[in-house]
Chains A and B, each alone.
Chain A
């Protein structure tokens, strides 16, 4: 384990940026969901890092991380279910073709 908090935070920021870029740039709904997972995990990494470097926060940090995982799992489940449902209807995973509500 590195002795520098910065290293963890930089890694977390990198992961978050990749996730954000993926979410904004990819047209595939599955890829977007994966990007969201990436962002959530980046946040989780930052939280755990803070916990590890500040003893008073250790227990809380672990709790928050577990909580985020649970939420991420739930989100992935629901998100995938929606995507599959739309895919069955529209025969495409590309979000910019989901336009029936707009036109």
Chain B
């Protein structure tokens, strides 16, 4: 074992098992980055086999990840968490930052989603990207993303997390703009990058504020010192709220919460596996993960928590209302992702951290499944994404249909599938913690979720076929490398809720998360009641289940199921009657137009005014000084004749003047 692994932080006993597991954590990061480097270097020569390095690398990463998850969650080998320092990253005097990592139960929960969905998306991409000439670039980027995302969840200090935060942003940018010749894709990539910058600006300020307040960026120290300083009066409550809100800005950007949500739907310009992995299952969860990780900071500020809950639940209903009317299958799923992320933030805001992580995990699987399914559909109908040009596909691509149906039922919150348990827990806990308004809006969103998901299913798979007659005979099921990941993702979409979240509020996940969120629950004054099936909990469970069921029933009524035909007449009538609302929803409530007006047009006017000032006043001053110097030079140059005797005359005259002056002074 190299000596660097011996550097253990105080209070952590490394031990033989620890040393081995530390090596595995390092490998978890090293393998994807090595895969990236190799694929980037030689991938072009591998032609159709560009995946030959990248995909096995992630399969190995997945295996290591599963071992670490087993060690952390099942075997409990790490106790409070496996912490170790790899090396000193920034040794700058008082500002010393180490590359230190942490694997605790929260990290392990994220590892399950990130490595599993990541691995399946890699396998899926073998088939999906088989005909793309840039596939080696794709696999290289995908490996790079896996490295960044794993670094993000393994980091044990704010700066390392921030670096990983930016790296996932970079990989997201590269992959959204993967088809960079397409103008919309290039613009969407730029938009994602810029909107994320807004959030990261706040995030960076928050980290700086933490540094100036406590003088360290290590998670364990910050989470101990900051609450202690608040209790001791050294840090005012408003400062705490400020730090929490600045950090939340970063989470808002990365997890696409209103008003920074605009980049995520446009990010669907990227290849569909990317949408599934980065923009549904992993990267967009980074904000949720971060707030859960930094829970000791956030629970210090009730105001910040309420704001998080409000923004979360507003995003949930706002995005769901847009998902109703979109025609692009991937955009419906994108707004659905926004809506579900809103749920998670609402859960974080009300203090139901475990429920948020629960929903993060289940959502990661079923939304990954839905996106990969949509990719399979798009593939089948020859790169058509408009749902108005689909329909009646369920017999032609049965595997895709059945797995997507499972995903839709899961996200709609029908028991006993995964989405039901996690969504219901969020709703139930917000009600029990006194956030009735969050619960009420959440129930409405649950109905909307069922409706828009079965609108998507109906328009895509059932009813009459609107597929291009030229394409229709060629519609076929995707290759096994694409369908097998769908089936593998369908399994957790069904079972994950029962496996780790049952019985409600007392499942395996709750025991795993207990040590992570224990102190936060105490600070918030939340008491843990046992689950009462014949009491408030049972009633809330029933409300949650029926909300989902109503939504699904409405969706099936309007848009059909299997042989059941869609009812286009009432849908058209409804659209007609709510014309203004329909158009507003279809235009995404004009948020893009609003931003265009404020930032692009008005900002452009301001920028032009400033540009004028810069060009005329600032540059004018600089140019004036230069002109003055030049003019003076041109004038004075005349005395430089180049004749030795002229100069000598100058010297002689000077000498004479000095001599005469000397004589007069002596006198």
Contacts and interface: CB of A to CB of B under 8 A. Distances in A.
Contacts of A101: 642
B643 A96 contact: yes
A96 B645 CA distance: 8
Contacts of A25: 645
Contact of A99 (B642, B648, B649, B652): B642
A24 B646 CA distance: 8
A24 B642 contact: no
Interface string A28-42: 000010000000000
Interface residues of B, number: 8
A53 B190 CA distance: 92
Interface string B624-662: 000000000000000001111100110010000000000
A96 B642 CA distance: 9
A25 B648 CA distance: 10
Contacts of A23: 645, 648
A76 B416 CA distance: 111
A30 to B, nearest CB: 14
A97 to B, nearest CB: 10
B654 to A, nearest CB: 12
Contacts of B642: 99, 101-102
Interface in A59-103: 95-96, 99, 101-102
B643 A24 contact: no
Interface in A1-59: 20, 23-25, 27, 32
A24 B643 CA distance: 11
B641 A24 contact: no
B666 to A, nearest CB: 15
Interface in B248-293: none
Contacts, number: 20
Nearest to B641: A102
Contact of B649 (A24, A27, A96, A102): A24
Contacts of A95: 643-645
A99 B645 CA distance: 13
Nearest to A21: B652
Contacts of B644: 32, 95
A99 B652 CA distance: 22
A96 B652 CA distance: 19
Nearest to A23: B648
A92 B43 CA distance: 73
Nearest to A103: B642
Contacts of A102: 641-642
A25 B652 CA distance: 12
A33 B299 CA distance: 93
Contacts of B643: 95-96
A49 B145 CA distance: 92
B651 to A, nearest CB: 10
A19 to B, nearest CB: 10
Contacts of B641: 102
A35 to B, nearest CB: 10
A80 to B, nearest CB: 16
Contacts of A99: 642
Interface string B157-199: 0000000000000000000000000000000000000000000
A86 to B, nearest CB: 12
B640 to A, nearest CB: 8
A68 to B, nearest CB: 17
A79 to B, nearest CB: 12
Contacts of B649: 24
Nearest to B649: A24
A75 B642 CA distance: 22
Nearest to B645: A24
Contact of B652 (A20, A27, A32): A20
Interface in B358-383: none
Contacts of B652: 20, 24
A95 B648 CA distance: 13
Contacts of A27: 645
Interface string B461-491: 0000000000000000000000000000000
Nearest to B640: A102
A27 to B, nearest CB: 8
Nearest to A99: B642
A25 B643 CA distance: 12
A101 B640 CA distance: 12
Nearest to A36: B648
Contacts of A24: 645, 648-649, 652
Nearest to A29: B644
A90 B645 CA distance: 19
B232 to A, nearest CB: 77
Nearest to B643: A96
Nearest to A26: B645
A99 B646 CA distance: 13
A46 to B, nearest CB: 13
Nearest to B656: A20
A20 B645 CA distance: 10
Q: Which of A20, A95, A99 has the most CB of B within 10 A?
A: A20
A78 B644 CA distance: 17
A71 B652 CA distance: 21
Contacts of A20: 652
Interface in B494-551: none
Nearest to B644: A95
A29 B641 CA distance: 17
Contacts of A96: 643, 645
Given A95-B643, A95-B645, 8 more contacts: A24-B645, A24-B652, A25-B645, A32-B644, A32-B645, A96-B643, A101-B642, A102-B641
10 contacts: A24-B645, A24-B649, A24-B652, A25-B645, A27-B645, A95-B645, A96-B645, A101-B642, A102-B641, A102-B642
**4 nearest interchain CB pairs?**
A102-B642, A24-B649, A20-B652, A24-B645
